[in-house]
Amino acid sequence: MRIAQVAPVFESVPPRYYGGTERVVSYLTEELVAQGHEVTLFATGDSRTRARLVSVYPESLRLAERPAEAGAVMALTLEAVMREVEQFDVIHAHLDYQHLPLFVRAPVPVLTTLHGRLDLPHWPLITRTFRDAPLASISLAQRRPIPDANWIGNVYHGLPFGSYHHHPQHGSYLLFLGRISREKRVDRAIEIARRSGMQLKVAAKVADADREYYDRVASLLDDPIVDFVGEVAEDAKDDLIGNAYALLAPIEWPEPFGLVIVEAMACGTPVIAYRHGSVPELVDHGVTGFVVDDLPAAVHAVERVAELDRDACRTAWEARFTARRMACDYMELYGQLTDARGRARAPRFEASLNPILTPPRPLARRAPVGQLAPSAPMADNRDLEQPTPTV
């Protein structure tokens, strides 16, 4: 099958550091290539892939010294996709809603995976307006704010074999990995470690948007029990996670999918996570970790980690959260969106909320899409929730 994967432009695919969506796009793209599909990846020029790479900007916007305006880069990326639209059997977009006004008029089917939180006021309006745009969720919990959207499937994220290795022996520290932000609650993780009498490694990104929260909790990172290692590169995460006693995810938001949770499972490391968002779907309580509701339960869970089998954590990951399984699930959805001849049935667009909108007209032919800057050469890396008892 000829498949286009359209990624965000803030990070490369895969990202050098933090970036869950771009990492998942990379895992999916490489697995589809390995399965013999003809894949084109639309991403920034510093991306690494065995697929055909198309880019309109040479580097990820977050790491660029003087980045271009994000809207301009995204507009040119979408135009690049539409220039080649007839070459694909299906387009898979990972862009929230920015592409919908253009892609609902595409002559081939377009699947949109929503990677973010959906409990925001604009989402009901978006999904009603583009009510025929096929959507995939990344957890059943993610759907709750807009249950009547056009969901055609749910696909959990997956990791490739070899990306993380099983560590049968645990280390002596707890781990917090991700972002220092209000919804991730590193302050809770520090208090859990303090009450448990254990060292806590904090490997986390500090984004500009989270600077105010970081300033409020910065003094906690000076606690002698805390080893603040900052944002870590991908190649350092295997040992960091695998050598941990347990991963702490004391979140306070409806997280659509906690990628770090399945990364821990792949390493054999149990997870202690608060009952929010997708957590009860991912963590098998009493097997791969503990789902807790408050601080005392989290501290008690640390005491019970020794009861868990790290081999069982790895086995659960192999059964549920591999890139191979993720790619096969998406191939089933792609098949739903194509006819027997492998060509598209274009989704119907209805201007359901605004009577002044008019039906779409065919796109006119234009000159080849431009670039904001010369692209870097393409690199090759061939190299709903069931109640869960509280501890």
Least confident of 52-56, 240-244, 363-367: 363-367
Q: Is 279:261 a contact under the CB 8 Å cutoff? A: yes
Backbone angles phi, psi at 22, to 5 degrees: -65, -35
Tokens of 362: 């065919």
Task: Return the amino acid letter for 8.
Answer: P
- Strand ordering across the sheet containing 151-154: 52-54, 38-42, 2-6, 90-93, 110-113, 135-137, 151-154
Ordered by where they begin, the domains of the chain are 2-159+324-336 (3.40.50.2000), 173-320 (3.40.50.2000)
Inform me whether the pLDDT recorded for 384 exceeds 70: no
Distances (CA, A) of 228 to 174, 309, 363: 12, 28, 52
Compute the average pLDDT of residues 139-159: 97
pLDDT value at residue 66:
82
- Three-state DSSP at 340 gives coil
pTM above 0.75, yes or no: yes
Of the chain, the end-to-end C-alpha distance in Å amounts to 47
The DSSP code sequence of 312-350 is HHHHHHHHH-BHHHHHHHHHHHHHHTB-TTS-B-PPP--
Rounded CA gap, 275 and 293, in Å?
6
Inform me whether the pLDDT recorded for 381 exceeds 80: no
The alpha carbons of the chain give a radius of gyration, in whole angstroms, of 22
Rounded CA gap, 195 and 174, in Å?
12
Q: What is the DSSP letter of 45?
A: T
pLDDT value at residue 64:
78
Tokens of 93: 């977009």
Task: Return the amino acid letter for 317.
Answer: W
Q: pLDDT (tens digit, 9 = 90+) per residue, 20-61? A: 899 999 999 999 999 999 999 999 999 999 999 999 999 888
- The H helix count followed by the E strand count for the chain is 12, 13
Inform me whether the pLDDT recorded for 374 exceeds 50: no
Rounded CA gap, 108 and 93, in Å?
13
Compute the average pLDDT of residues 142-152: 97
pLDDT value at residue 356:
29
Indicate the average pLDDT of the chain: 87
Compute the average pLDDT of residues 206-216: 88
Rounded CA gap, 269 and 261, in Å?
9
Least confident of 251-260, 335-344, 353-362: 353-362
